[in-house]
Amino acid sequence: MSDKKIAIPKKSNLKGEDGYKTFSIRVKESTVEQLDEIADKSNRTRNGLINLILDFAVANCEIED
């Protein structure tokens, strides 16, 4: 038997290493239906569509006093 060993690094436990973070929200059923319809028509996933919409909303958000 050989004395050679294989080094196996631990997998990182950090979340969001790909730049994304998972969290849950409550959404009205009618909104989900509309999102699914738009996702189907645009050939996107619901998640991808929501990310596009959120990116747009954040970039175009204005806080009123």
17 against 53, higher pLDDT: 53
What's at 54, amino acid-wise? Answer: L
Share of residues in the chain with pLDDT > 70 (%):
85
Q: Which pLDDT does position 2 carry in this prediction? A: 67
> pLDDT digit string (tens) for 8-29?
777 666 666 778 888 999 999 9
This prediction has a pTM of: 0.70
Enclosing H/E stretch for 63? none
Return the pLDDT at 49. Answer: 92
pLDDT of residue 14: 66
Phi, psi of 23 (to 5 degrees): -155, 165
